[in-house]
Amino acid sequence: MHIDGHKFLVSIVEPLQLTVQVLLENETADQLGLALQGHLSIPRARGFQPSVVYVDPQSGFRALKNMFPSILIDDSGAADYIPKVESEIRRIKELYRVVKNESTEINRVKTFMMREFKWITDSKRRYSPT
SS (H, E, C) 61-116: HHCCCCCCCCCEEECCCCCCHHHHHHHHHHHHHHHHHHHHHHHHHHHHHHHHHHHH
pLDDT at 126 over 70: no
Tens-place pLDDT, residues 79-111: 555 677 888 889 999 999 888 888 888 888 888
Q: Is the peptide bond before 129 cis (omega within 30 degrees of 0)?
A: no
The vertex-55 CA angle with 14 and 43, nearest 5°, equals 35
**Rounded CA separation 22/34 (Å):** 10
Residue 34 confidence (pLDDT): 92
* Domain segments of the chain as ranges: 2-127
Q: Give the whole-angstrom CA distance, residue 50 versus residue 52.
A: 6
Class of domain 2-127: alpha beta
- Dist CA 30 CA 66 (whole Å): 13
pLDDT tens digits for range 42-76: 888 989 888 888 877 778 888 888 888 888 888 77
